[in-house]
Amino acid sequence: MVDFAFLDSGTGGIPYLTYLLEKNPAASCVYIGDTANFPYGEKTHEEIVKCVLSITDRIIKSFNPRIIVIACNTMSVNTLDVLREVFPDTQFVGTVPAIKLAASVSKKRRIGLMATKATVENPYNIDLKNHFAADCELILRSDAELISFIERESFTATKEECVKAVLPAVNFFKEKGCDAMILGCTHFLNLRDLIQEVAGDELKVVDSKEGVVKRALSILNSLPDHKVEKGKPKLFVTWLSEKEKSEYDVICSRYNLEWGGMLN
Cβ-based nearer residue to ligand DGL, 28 or 150: 150
Report whether 144 contacts 43 (CB < 8 A): no
Rg (C-alpha) for the chain, rounded Å, is 18
- Catalytic residue from among 72, 136, 178, 252: 72
78 touches ligand DGL (CB under 6 A): no
What is the Cα–Cα distance from 119 to 254, expressed in whole angstroms? 29
Q: How far is the CB of 155 from ligand DGL (least distance, A)?
A: 15
Measured from the CB of residue 32, what is the shortest distance to ligand DGL in angstroms? 13
Question: Does 147 contact ligand DGL by CB under 6 A?
Answer: yes
Judging by beta carbons within 10 Å of its beta carbon (0-12, 13-18, 19+), is residue 214 exposed, middle or buried? middle
Question: Does residue 154 interact with ligand DGL by CB under 6 A?
Answer: no
- Binding region for ligand DGL (CB under 6 A) out of 4-12, 21-29, 135-143, 233-241: 4-12
Give whichever of 28 and 93 is closer to ligand DGL, judged by the CB atom: 93
Q: Which of 51, 162, 178, 185 is catalytic?
A: 185
Q: Which of 97, 60, 103 is nearest to 77 (CA)?
A: 97
Position 9 contacts ligand DGL (CB under 6 A): yes
Residue 178 among the catalytic residues: no
Instruction: Figure out which of the listed residues 3, 4, 6, 12 binds ligand DGL, where binding follows CB under 6 A.
Output: 12
Minimum CB distance to ligand DGL, residue 52 (Å): 11
Q: Phi/psi at 183 (nearest 5 deg)?
A: -85, 90
Cite the beta strand spans of 61-202 per DSSP E.
65-70, 91-93, 110-115, 137-142, 180-183
The answer to whether 195 and 170 are in contact (CB under 8 A) is yes
Quick one: angle between helices 14-23 and 209-222, nearest 10? Answer: 50
Question: Cβ 233 to ligand DGL, closest distance in Å?
Answer: 18
Task: For residue 72, indicate whether it is catalytic.
Answer: yes
Q: Is 72 among the residues that bind ligand DGL (CB under 6 A)?
A: yes
Q: Are strands 29-33 and 2-8 parallel, antiparallel or unpaired?
A: parallel
Distance CA 38, CA 114 (A): 18
DSSP conformational letter for 136 = S
By CB under 6 A, the count of residues binding ligand DGL is 16
User: Interface with ligand DGL includes 41 (CB under 6 A)?
Assistant: yes
Residues of the shown chain interacting with ligand DGL in the complex, contacts defined by CB under 6 A: 8-9, 12, 38-41, 72-74, 116, 119, 147, 185-187
Catalytic residues: 72, 185
